[in-house]
Structure 1
């Protein structure tokens, strides 16, 4: 094999690796900082009032905290995908791990 062919193979492999990294990067769950901050406020209020870190309890019993909290959650999480991302985000916080990356400057229609 000549050097030109070797460099072409190396270049092809680097392009494949870059494509794979990009594809993997797109699989990361993200949430806008503004939404994360609002969820944090709601979750911290829930923990304080109910003395519980249960995400299921928060979402299931939001109306028991108060109507404003339920309405805030409905506004923040208007569809099922957003609810799922919020559950992953809050679960990660409750467990002390980052399951969802908080990002600045993206559209709030995550």
Structure 2
């Protein structure tokens, strides 16, 4: 094998590893469906593309489950709302 082919193989493997890391990272960012539904109803029609605005506006309110979730996951909530506003799935909605 020549050096060019070795470089191509190494590059292909690095791309695969990056894709796997990205896929694994997306698995980590999840939000329960019940919390997503509550956020969707409260922030319907609100421009959430400004992360600072989202962080200022998302606060503990509503159900006890939401309050508990909020204090542990404020950044995931902000990413979920920003992703919805941008039309991309930054946070996966899980069961619950």
State the TM-score bracket (shorter-chain normalisation).
0.5 to 0.7
Cα distance in 1, alignment partners of residues 45 and 78 from structure 2: 15
Matches for 1:30-69 after TM superposition, within 5 Å: 30-32=29-31, 35=32, 37-46=33-42, 53=46, 55=54, 56-59=56-59, 62=61, 69=62
1:26-48 residue CA offsets vs partner (Å, 9 max, x unmatched):
5547214xx1x21233224435x
| Aligned length in residues | 87
SS at match of 1:91: helix
Measure, in 2, the Cα distance between the counterparts of 1:24 and 1:9: 22
1:45 to 1:17, Cα distance in 2 relative to 1, 3 A: closer
Mapped to 1, the partners of 2:40 and 2:11 lie a distance apart of 47
- SS of residue in 1 equivalent to 2:30: strand
TM-score using structure 2 length: 0.56
TM-score, normalized by length of structure 1? 0.51
Cα deviations across residues 41-100 of structure 1 (Å, max 9, x unaligned)? 3224435xxx8737543526x2xxxxxx15222222342xx210111102332x252252
8 Å contact kept, 1:89–1:99: yes
Question: Distance in 2 between the 1:72 and 1:19 partners?
Answer: 37
Where structure 2 has 5 or more consecutive residues not aligned to the other structure, the ranges are 49-53
